[in-house]
Amino acid sequence: MIASVHLADVSVPTALGLLAKRPKPAANPGLRHANIGLAATLSARVMPAPSLRRVGVVAFWEDDAALDQFLADAPVAAKLASGFHVRLEPLRATGTWPGLPEDLTNDRSAGTDGAAAVLTLGRMRASQALRFFRASAKAEGRAVVAPGLVWGTGIGRPPFVCTFSMWESTRALMTYAYGHANPEHPDAIAASETKPFHHQQAFIRFRPYAAAGHLDGSNPLAADALARAGD
């Protein structure tokens, strides 16, 4: 099983049309599950400011061949073709999400010698939205200045909410996620454990092993970082 994240800048009418066209397994052989939403820059803002032009898709696949077929044949993929996508091998996960293998380890030490990537996925409880956005803002504000962050974005179409971030190394990622010197992210985890923000959630670590395309004229996963990921 692999995952992919796709992001593209499109027209506002195209973006709004895509939000109603979440890729479905019945129409895409080998697709386990997918979500689609508008992207928002990671920041310390309590209320996210999604772009009406940038669309993101998070998908789980049986294998690379299934993703290849989607990229070649699916109308949604064609509308996102001008953007960027990255392929991801799952390494560890906590929580549950459709399409995610149940037997994936939750060992914190699972990692890679090269670049790392993380998806945080949630199906938000409406009653906990303000608590969630406040905690998330503090964690995102810390992430954008954290050593080793390569690039990140939020993606959402409530109740679906997501962050996707790419890091120079597993060590840099773990220092941000679990370090106590700057506890904003650990505090957000603790707050959710005390009173859950979401009906369902998952935190998934990956090895990014292939990327293509661009956003704002450049590939957000640095070429040397991707080369290290493939070592």
Neighbour count for residue 169 (Cβ, 10 Å): 20
Mean pLDDT of 212-220: 79
Mean pLDDT of 5-17: 96
Reported as a pLDDT band with limits 50, 70 and 90, residue 223 is low
Q: What is the model's pLDDT at position 229?
A: 44
Reported as a pLDDT band with limits 50, 70 and 90, residue 230 is very low
- Write down the mean pLDDT value for the chain: 89
**Range picked from 20-34, 127-141, 209-223 for highest mean pLDDT:** 20-34
Q: What is the model's pLDDT at position 129?
A: 92
CATH architecture assignment, domain 2-229: 2-Layer Sandwich (3.30)
Q: What does pTM read for this prediction?
A: 0.90
Mean pLDDT of 190-201: 87
- Residue 25, pLDDT > 80, answer yes
- Of 26-30, 55-59, 133-137, 185-189, the one with minimum mean pLDDT is 185-189
Q: What is the model's pLDDT at position 157?
A: 96
What are the pLDDT digits (tens) for 75-92?
999 999 999 999 999 999
Mean pLDDT of 211-230: 66
Mean pLDDT of 124-134: 93
The residue ranking higher by pLDDT, 177 or 34, is 34
